[in-house]
Amino acid sequence: MKNPKKSANAEKQRRFREKQKALGKKLIRGYVTPLAMDNYKEIVAKTGWTDSDVLSNSLRITYAAYKNGQIRLLNQWLTDQDQQKKALLIKKAKELKEQGKVPAKDDE
């Protein structure tokens, strides 16, 4: 015998997906890097957007850069930001190590 709660929930989810499709929305999800997750959390904190809004707007921004021939510029900016964040993290780790707050790791 089927659990009535489970079938009711499945039916509710099916109706929700159909409603979203009728509105022209499409479900897109994937795995993100820890750095991207930090960026996501910062965007949500500053804008108050939902997960769906963040994804939708990021796709729109990327598409706008593509249409205006600025994908290379966008990618370069993202790469520069990644390098700056990594350099800052390394600098902070060295400062903490010098202060004795972090146990020293053997250098490779």
State pLDDT tens for residues 8-26.
899 999 999 898 888 887 7
Q: Which of 2-6, 36-40, 63-67, 72-76 has the lowest mean pLDDT?
A: 2-6
Contact indicator for 28, 55 with CB cutoff of 8 Å: yes
Buried b (16+ CB within 10 A) or exposed e, 85-94: eeeeeeeeee
DSSP string, 67-86: HTT-HHHHHHHHHHHHHHHH
pTM score, whole prediction:
0.58
